[in-house]
Amino acid sequence: MIRINLLAVERDRPKRRVGIDLSQQVTLACGLIFVSAIALVVWQVLELRGDAGRLEEQVVAVDTELATMADVVGQRNEFEARGGELARRVALIEELRDGQGGPVRMLDQVSQALPEGVWLTELRQQGDEVTLQGRATGLTGLSDLVLALELSGFFVLPVDIVDSQLESEEMGEVVRFELRAQFRLPSS
């Protein structure tokens, strides 16, 4: 059966709401907050991964630079060691050059002190001590040699005659001698 209302009375019809009720609004707001939080976390993770990548690249660059610097430091240490060795060598050369004057002066003084008729067969130097061996045609030549060495100022007094012997040779008698003295450079 169908009923038709022919009355001209209008009834209040309930109005339909197009909006969302309160519980749906709260659910929707929570959902938006949740989605926003997830998006923020994802964005942060991506940013951290990017930062980690950049930091990794920087670490690799620093490691490469450290390796290069280690080579440079190794070369510097090698150069310093070589420089130290060269400095020691130069000091040794200077020391030898400074000490070179002593033996040269000693030989010069001995050669100047040799009188006629005296010749040397051996000259030894150990430290400051000098030993002279040789021959002389007479005792006068030997005493003249000792006196000349003492007067030179380069030998500590006295110049000792360690041994002197008269020997016969084809040309006559000669005096074989050995002298010992201490050589010193006079103070300037």
Q: Where are the domains of the chain?
A: 22-101, 114-183
Q: Which two tokens stand for residue 36?
A: 């926003």
Residue 188 has what pLDDT? 54
Residue by residue, pLDDT tens for the chain (188 residues) are: 777 766 666 666 666 666 778 888 899 999 999 999 999 999 999 999 999 999 999 999 999 999 889 988 999 999 999 999 999 999 988 887 776 666 778 888 888 889 998 999 999 988 889 999 999 988 899 999 999 988 888 888 888 888 888 888 777 889 999 999 988 876 65
Instruction: Give the dihedral of Cα atoms 17, 23, 24, 26; nearest 10 deg.
Output: 130
CATH class of residue range 114-183: alpha beta
Check residue 133 and give its pLDDT.
94
